[in-house]
Structure 1
Amino acid sequence: MAESRLRQLLKGASMGLLAFLLIGVEGSLLLGQDASPRPAKEQEKAGARPKRSEQEEEREALEQEIQQVVQLLRQAYDLAQDINDPVVRVHSYAAIAEALWEQDQPLARQLFRMAFEETKRVPVPEQPKGVRAWIGGTRAPDELRRELLAKVSKLDPSLAMELAKSLEVKKSEAEEPKHEESQEAHRMPRPAGSERARALMHLAHLLLEKDPKSAAEAVMAALSEGVADPFALVRFLIELRSKDSALADQLFTHALGVVARNVPPSLYELIPLGSYVAQDWRLPLRFIAKSAPPVNPLNAAQYLRVLVEALAQYVEIALNPMLAPGFAQTDFTNPRALAQILTVIRPHVHQYLPDRAALIDGLLNQLAIKLPAQAQAEVEAAEAKQALSVEERIADFLRQAERTKDAEERDAFLFRAISEAVFANKFEIAADLIPRLSDVKQRVETSDFVHYRWAEHALEKGDLETARRSAGELNNPERLAHVFSRLARKLEEREEKEAALALLQEAEARIRRLPASIEKARALVVIAEALLPLDVDRAFEAFAQSIGPLNQPEAVAERPGANFQFNFKDVGLAIGVAEGDIMRMLERVITALTSADPARTLMLLSGLENPSLRLIAQIAYARRHLELLKEKKAKLAERRSG
């Protein structure tokens, strides 16, 4: 039905996309050339006013060119249908819809609906076997829906709400992606989390800045199905609190009630909510916020009451496994895990919920009888480690690394020490530990991790010399491109354009020396975008160098890019630092190149032969072309009115 309606809207399209780009636009209609017709002799003979006639004919020529580009964008839909990859179709439909929103809103709305429907045909990417930490996929259906909702919510929040609510509530088990937030949680029962609930939660984040009440309504709709994503919920509540603390507290209370409906409540849903109450409680699943207000005693008491009652139920199951065999074997319901959680919250219960303090102590005593002496000692040791300084924690990991004879286990402890140092901004300590890693591949990645974060920290502090020195140590070409680009922007802000250009030329030269690869091409795309404000010719040359590898069929495939994935023995860490989707990268750079020199951009596109990337690039070109034509038309109207 949707496709039938769309074909009616598109009826009359005849010119092929590529033919129009390479032939039709190269004439007087090419953006950047003067599209104004010269006054006709007949008009001059008739005594027409040349100035008036020139403006009128220029306006008509612009309007004609606008309509041709609109037609071009409409025809792009037909080409998108021939692409086998549903992810490319989603990107294409959405980009066309955005471009045509002002020109043809009925068609744009239909395209957005089709793009959203198309996400249901996208398979959920599976986490690789044996991989503890995974950066996830930009091609995941949820990720595509988040991107679509972000676009639509800016144009029409009500349409975004309609799309989010159109998803099915029930989610099949086969579609449920697998994630491992932590070593302790990987066998814990997860909330069902329908696609609809996750989409509504994301929409709530999008609406929060301009319309907190509508955002809260979206959260309430999501909570009607339970807590689909406790971390997304906590993040939303923390952000909402800065705008409307009363509304945030009200939603928090409602969420607690939703969790407490289950018997026993899901600890995976309940434990993260503690991050809304307090940031310094060392609960096993936490959302770390940049800042947090003082603890609200009412929220603390309310949360602890639900948590203590839930833990009491799980302690009973742990002591009597036959009561609920399925729960008794999960990580957060074995005696040791329960004892650790109770130990963490005990001081807070004494402070905010003193009437439950005796219950906490009683539960710990019951578990102490069940726990063997070694496990009890580990619980007590874990409690003692909470008070250790960063230096003491690093030293503790290093001691454990020295004690083990297993090389993989030693590397895992060393990585923990390095990570501890990096997150505490003690980069010299972290860098000194890198050579001690035995796995060469992990050593290279860890070195990049340390120096990338070191460069980022230095940039934030304005220490460009340290940032440049650290960036020079990077091995991954895309990471190198991103950090050098950020450095160049800082130099531009200081009006040191020559230094910025020299820096980017250094990065480009280093990347060009690498063997041809998709990773090299992606890095050159990043460099091309950074070069544009400084040297247009060099920017186009850098992009031209990327085209060859991008023509490979696998160029569209999922790649970590500049992002980090570490998988040591019993330790995993995934950190996103940059855009991973080549289609989004390409859209952005083609838009920038078109703004700088549309004719040259058009010539470059003729060399892009990968069908999927060619379509994405051509739509980006046409969209920016249309925007510039509209700007020119608006300026012409201003001149006429003046």
Structure 2
Amino acid sequence: MKFSAVIIVAFAFGQVGVQEVKEQGLALFDQAELTVKQESDPARLAHGALVLASLIKDIEASRGEALLRLAARALSKLDFIAEQGQAGGMPRVTFRSPYDVDRLWEKLFEESAELRVELVREFLAEVKADDRWKGVLLARLARSVREARAMEELVELSLAHAVSFSAVSLLFDLRGRDPERGRAIFRAALERAVRRGDLDGLYWLGAYAIPGVNLPNRFPLTDPPAPDPVLARVYIRALVDVLSQVAVWANPMPAHIYRALVNIRPHAERFAPDRVPQIDSLLAFVTSRLSPRAIAEAEQRDLERVSPETEKIEDLELRAQLARDEKIHDDLMARAAYLALTGKDFERALRLAAKLKDRGVRAELRDLIHLRAAAELSERGQWEHAAEQALAIEQPERLAVAVAGVLQKLSDKDRAALLIAQAQARIERLQTSAAKGRAFLYLAGPVMSFDVDQGRFLLSRAIEMFNATRADLNGAREAAIRIETGDFATGSVVGSYDLSSVVIEAFKKLAKADPELIQALPLAARWESAEIRAIAQAAIARSLLERVR
């Protein structure tokens, strides 16, 4: 069912009062809700409902909650475990999709936490995820909420499931602003980890009790603070007790127990000397159960972590030039180029990338360098150089993303017009309609800042191509950059991995330029995907509601 003419006419009567505009915005949001419910695919329905909830929850919380429950019902039809298990056999560089079931659940919890913690509890009972996934997610949510009571509830929920990296991140957040609360959370987490025999959680907690300690799970700290002697002593005793229990029954013996004992011993000498004999005895037992090779590998891993080799561009380039094997050459040269890129030496990075022998890897790396350079030069206000870098990108969809970024920083209409014309000509060469549709979608919003009619034309072209290919809002497709050469691997999503934000931006800009919505509403109605049509309608509704806030 496409957008009804009755609603379109309701917006065409010219100037109306504030209350009328609000009512019209809510009526249009009603239409968006009806539209998203027409979506037959559960993942798309859940995603669309979550996007709509994010647009309305701060205006009408009850509507937001209803949409979150709609998303949860859709997600209950999908197999969470199967989605989690798809990682095996994948390339080293992979990208998330906005339709990944675990990601949709994460988004559901994020939106719920911004409304009420009770919603988090409600949905927690429905998701078929393991305790570690729940613990990590809840700790991350606890870091994001502002209200103290909500944070405490989320921390309690998190620790009931697992102690994770996110939980330790929260502890370090609290270290400066509420140290007493941080210590209380640490003790509660330690008690639960000991009760569960959770060595993984205990290794994470060690990073807080003894900052900088080299345990198997290591928290990255550039300048570790001094340990709290009381917490360190309590922690060491707890860790050694659990290590003793696990080691007795372990078969085969895990090497991480050896690493933990070796690295905690110096701290035990300082903070818990009474436990050193127990550590030495346990270490002798563990060593007797491990092969010399396993011990050597464990010691090598610790050495590499404590004293990482600092790579230099010059050394990598020289080693590449001396390499006889093409794969080794490209691996070293790609690492050198990437180091130059991270240092924002774009010219040097491009020069090094040009020496790669593999044509595909060379093209990917050059596009990555041009993308980063265009973004950086735009920030510096070097428009001409930024445009040159953007237009040098080989893959047209990536080019559109880079040009859109430059346009957002540009104010000169003449320069913008020239850049838009050049980008559009390149995009027209694309053979794939889906990629061309995404490229035009990326450009539509930024182009509207200079020429509404042209931006609307690009948006219309994008819709036409999305419809022709039945494309969804996954932005991590052909444009994503994946580079793998020997030991070196890196990747980058170009643009947005979730194109809903791009659709929203384009339709909000169009609605702002078209106050009576004569053009915006019919254009939104042209999306054949119920999910995307609903998001476009909701974006227009949000634009109306923002006028009267």
In structure 2, list runs of 5 or more residues that go unmatched.
Answer: none
**3-state SS in 1 of match to 2:471:** helix
> CA 1:344–1:579 in structure 2 vs 1: closer, same or farther (change >3 Å)?
farther
> CA 1:454–1:626 in structure 2 vs 1: closer, same or farther (change >3 Å)?
closer
Q: Which amino acid aligns with 1:518?
A: A
Native 8 Å contact 1:524 1:542 kept in 2 = yes
**3-state SS in 1 of match to 2:431:** coil
**3-state SS in 2 of match to 1:551:** helix
Native 8 Å contact 1:521 1:545 kept in 2 = yes
Q: 1:511 aligns with which of 411, 427, 430?
A: 427
Deviations 1:291-341 (A, max 9, x none): 766233445555555555555666x46xxxxx433x64xxxx23xx55666
**3-state SS in 2 of match to 1:114:** helix
| Residue in 2 that maps onto 1:528 | 444
| Residue in 2 that maps onto 1:18 | 3
1:594 aligned to 2:507? no
Q: Which amino acid aligns with 1:588?
A: E
How many Å separate the matches in 2 of 1:137 and 1:503?
A: 30
Q: Per-residue deviation at 1:84?
A: 0.9
Q: 2:250 aligns with which of 313, 324, 329?
A: 324
Residue identity over aligned pairs, in percent, reads 25
Q: Per-residue deviation at 1:540?
A: 1.9
Q: Which amino acid aligns with 1:621?
A: I
Larger displacement relative to structure 2 (574-583 or 376-385): 376-385
How many Å separate the matches in 1 of 2:383 and 2:29?
A: 44
Native 8 Å contact 1:344 1:383 kept in 2 = no
Q: Which amino acid aligns with 1:604?
A: L
Deviations 1:359-402 (A, max 9, x none): 77777777777544797388358626743563359847985997
Within 5 Å, which residues of 2 pair with 1:550-561?
Answer: 550-556=466-472, 558-561=474-477
How many Å separate the matches in 1 of 2:236 and 2:319?
A: 36
> CA 1:342–1:527 in structure 2 vs 1: closer, same or farther (change >3 Å)?
farther
1:220 aligned to 2:146? no
Native 8 Å contact 2:136 2:165 kept in 1 = no
Larger Rg: 1
Native 8 Å contact 2:367 2:395 kept in 1 = yes
**3-state SS in 2 of match to 1:391:** coil
Q: 2:225 aligns with which of 267, 271, 294?
A: 294
| Residue in 1 that maps onto 2:90 | 130
Q: 2:76 aligns with which of 109, 115, 120?
A: 120
Q: Which amino acid aligns with 2:138?
A: L
How many Å separate the matches in 2 of 1:414 and 1:274?
A: 38
Deviations 1:505-542 (A, max 9, x none): 54444334433432332232222222233332332233
> CA 1:203–1:372 in structure 2 vs 1: closer, same or farther (change >3 Å)?
closer
> CA 1:274–1:105 in structure 2 vs 1: closer, same or farther (change >3 Å)?
closer
Larger displacement relative to structure 2 (90-99 or 128-137): 90-99
1:376 aligned to 2:296? yes
| Residue in 2 that maps onto 1:635 | none
Native 8 Å contact 2:92 2:489 kept in 1 = yes
Within 5 Å, which residues of 2 pair with 1:38-187?
Answer: 58-59=16-17, 67=23, 70-94=26-50, 109-124=65-80, 125=83, 126-127=86-87, 129-154=89-114, 157-158=115-116, 161-169=117-125, 172=128
Native 8 Å contact 2:259 2:298 kept in 1 = no
In structure 1, list runs of 5 or more residues that go unmatched.
Answer: 1-15, 36-57, 177-190, 318-322, 632-642
How many Å separate the matches in 2 of 1:81 and 1:162?
A: 25
Native 8 Å contact 1:556 1:583 kept in 2 = no
| Residue in 2 that maps onto 1:271 | 203
Native 8 Å contact 2:511 2:540 kept in 1 = yes
Report the number of matched residues: 540
Q: 2:143 aligns with which of 205, 213, 218?
A: 205
Q: CA RMSD in A?
A: 4.5
Within 5 Å, which residues of 2 pair with 1:342-357?
Answer: none
Which of 1 and 2 has higher RCO (CA within 8 Å, sep 6+)? 2
How many Å separate the matches in 2 of 1:280 and 1:424?
A: 26
How many Å separate the matches in 1 of 2:465 and 2:269?
A: 62
How many Å separate the matches in 2 of 1:353 and 1:426?
A: 49
> CA 1:72–1:373 in structure 2 vs 1: closer, same or farther (change >3 Å)?
closer
**3-state SS in 2 of match to 1:224:** helix
Native 8 Å contact 2:313 2:336 kept in 1 = yes
Q: Which amino acid aligns with 1:480?
A: L
Q: Per-residue deviation at 1:473?
A: 4.5
TM-score, length basis structure 1: 0.69
How many Å separate the matches in 2 of 1:592 and 1:266?
A: 52
TM-score, length basis structure 2: 0.78
How many Å separate the matches in 2 of 1:361 and 1:460?
A: 57
Within 5 Å, which residues of 2 pair with 1:381-392?
Answer: 383=303, 386-387=306-307, 390-391=310-311
Q: Per-residue deviation at 1:463?
A: 6.6
How many Å separate the matches in 2 of 1:490 and 1:556?
A: 28
Within 5 Å, which residues of 2 pair with 1:433-472?
Answer: 433-435=352-354, 437=356, 439-455=358-374, 470-472=389-391
Q: Per-residue deviation at 1:556?
A: 0.8
| Residue in 1 that maps onto 2:454 | 538
1:30 aligned to 2:11? yes
How many Å separate the matches in 2 of 1:303 and 1:447?
A: 49
Native 8 Å contact 2:333 2:352 kept in 1 = yes
1:624 aligned to 2:540? no
Q: 2:193 aligns with which of 256, 259, 267?
A: 259
Native 8 Å contact 2:76 2:126 kept in 1 = no
How many Å separate the matches in 2 of 1:149 and 1:436?
A: 47
Within 5 Å, which residues of 2 pair with 1:600-611?
Answer: 600-611=519-530
How many Å separate the matches in 1 of 2:293 and 2:182?
A: 44
> CA 1:622–1:256 in structure 2 vs 1: closer, same or farther (change >3 Å)?
same
Native 8 Å contact 2:35 2:531 kept in 1 = no
**3-state SS in 1 of match to 2:131:** coil
Q: Which amino acid aligns with 1:83?
A: E
Deviations 1:79-110 (A, max 9, x none): 43332112332344445556666887655543
**3-state SS in 2 of match to 1:250:** helix
